[in-house]
Amino acid sequence: MFPGLPRIVLFLDLDYFFAQVEEVENPELKGKPLCVCVFSGRTPDSGVVSSANYVARKFGIKAGMPIKAAKKLLPDDSVILPIRLKHYASVSRQIMDTLRKFNTPLRVESVDEAVMDITDAVGGDYAEAEKFARKVKETIRTRFGLTCSVGVGPNRVVAKMAADYSKPDGLTIVKPENIEEFLRDMPVKNLPGIGAKTESILADHHVKTVGDLSRLSLEKLEELFGTKKAQYLYMASRGMYNEAVEERPPPKQVSKIVTLKRNTRDVEEIMETLASAASDAYTRLASAKFFASKIGLIAITSRLETITRQAEIRLGATLDEVLKSLRILLTKLLETDEKMMLRRVGVRFTGLTPVPGQTSLNIFSEG
């Protein structure tokens, strides 16, 4: 950041994300109440609503609501779809990659949220920031057909509240001189980090708005919430939260462990299971645009010992090459002890380097 320029942050939140992805792919759904649901499978209707479009919300549908309750509220032409998490994650990655092309510091906050520090990109100027925000919205709309809500402000907390302020397809700009007015009458639960519990403790102390909160002393907040949270609430409620937008640190490994159908030391049988684990991890590695320089075999024996073996691989090795290395590691491992039986096996890619070009970091959850 150029020293001296006051920070300008852009927060982007995709509108009714999972449901909107379904709408875009099936345009005939547009205009109908639509819910994307997690079916638990216990009974045909067990489960909860994950994401609802704004038409469904008019009937009182909220994320987290049981499917049964939602069905009672919804009219007959409503559409209920099962969640396709992997697909939304892949759309999310493409969107984040597109945002990275704006070349600003960027942090992926969740599957449907990102924060960008646009200070340098707009030269610290709010009129330019508004143009920049429109350009971002337009890019997401033309490339993906999706609307999003964007907030711009002097820090991440204000920018997020600005994005929440007008949904869907919103754009809210809060300049430093307008922060106080923006926060004064805002319900305190709209401040990021304030859940039901904090809200109720604050209500006991007659704090209903962010303005009320900003009148509590640091000492009082510390007494109620402890040092760390008190400091956050103190700064955030005054619009003075001022942390830099930092990329998540790059991942150190990508791994996957699976349980064998039965305890065995048969190489072919183990390789069959290992291959599907390797393929899963390899796909995650590739879609995150990383190369690995090492492949590890993880073996958990029938006596629950964990043994690992490692080999170098070529940067950019194919899945076939990876499987060959794993087969050699596995064969050698089994040769060390003729009684060894395996119960679980896994793979671990380490020595990661970004593939030159775009890199996506948000998918390293272990499967």
Q: Which residue from 66, 124, 168, 211 is in contact with ligand DCP, where contact means CB under 6 A?
A: 168
The sign of the torsion formed by the CA atoms of 188, 193, 195, 199 equals: negative
Among 41, 44, 64, 195, binds ligand DCP (CB under 6 A): 64
Instruction: Tell me the residue type at 103.
Output: N
Do 147 and 163 contact (CB within 8 A), yes or no? no
112 binding Ca ion? (CB under 5 A): yes
Nearer to ligand DCP, 52 or 260 (CB): 52
Nearest 5°: phi and psi at 244?
-70, 155
Q: Please identify which residue in 8, 9, 10, 13 interacts with ligand DCP, judged by CB under 6 A.
A: 13
The site partner of 64 among ligand DCP, Ca ion, none (C-beta below 5 to 8 Å per kind) is ligand DCP
Stretch that binds ligand DCP, among 15-23, 212-220, 231-239, 316-324 (CB under 6 A): 15-23
51 contact, one of ligand DCP, Ca ion, none, CB 5-8 Å limit per kind: ligand DCP
By C-beta, is 14 or 188 nearer to Ca ion? 14
Q: How far apart are CA 327 and CA 313, in angstroms?
A: 13
Give yes or no: 113 in active site: yes
22 binds Ca ion (CB under 5 A): no
Q: Is 23 in the site for Ca ion (CB under 5 A)?
A: no
The residue among 17, 51, 7, 360 whose CA lies nearest residue 159 is 7
State yes or no: residue 209 binds ligand DCP (CB under 6 A). no
CB 205 within 8 A of CB 216: yes
For the beta sheet containing 79-82, the strands, ordered from the edge strand earlier in sequence to the opposite edge, are 47-52, 34-39, 79-82
CA distance to 174, 192, 197, per residue, from 121 (Å): 18, 26, 39
The active-site residue out of 23, 113, 138, 247 is 113
Q: Confirm or reject binding of residue 84 to ligand DCP (CB under 6 A).
A: no
- Does the protein bind ligand DCP through residue 50 (CB under 6 A)? yes
Q: Judged by CB under 6 A, does residue 362 bind ligand DCP?
A: no
By CB under 6 A, tell whether 51 contacts ligand DCP.
Answer: yes
In whole angstroms, give the CA distance from residue 93 to residue 157. 23
By CB under 6 A, name the one of 9, 10, 11, 16 that touches ligand DCP: 16
CA angle 30/36/42 to nearest 5° reads 145
The CA distance from 121 to 128, in Å, is: 9
Q: Does residue 13 contact residue 149 with C-beta atoms inside 8 Å?
A: yes
* Closest by CA position to 348, among listed 304, 302, 308: 308
| Closest alpha carbon to 243 in 5, 11, 12, 7 | 7
The candidate with the shortest Cα–Cα distance to 113, out of 9, 15, 24, is 15
Least Å from the CB of residue 88 to Ca ion? 11
Kindly tell me which residue out of 13, 22, 23, 117 binds Ca ion, with binding defined by CB under 5 A: 13
Size of the site for ligand DCP (CB under 6 A): 13
With respect to ligand DCP, which residue has the nearer C-beta, 147 or 231? 147
Nearer to ligand DCP, 26 or 263 (CB): 26
For position 117 contacting Ca ion by CB under 5 A, the verdict is no
Q: Is 11 in the site for ligand DCP (CB under 6 A)?
A: no
Pick the closer one to ligand DCP by CB: 168 or 251.
168
63 contributes a contact to ligand DCP by CB under 6 A: yes
Question: Got the DSSP string for 189-223?
Answer: GGSTT--HHHHHHHHHTT--BHHHHHTS-HHHHHH
Catalytic residues: 113
Enumerate binding residues for Ca ion (CB under 5 A). Answer: 13-14, 17, 112-113
Residues that bind ligand DCP (CB under 6 A): 13-18, 50-51, 63-64, 112, 167-168
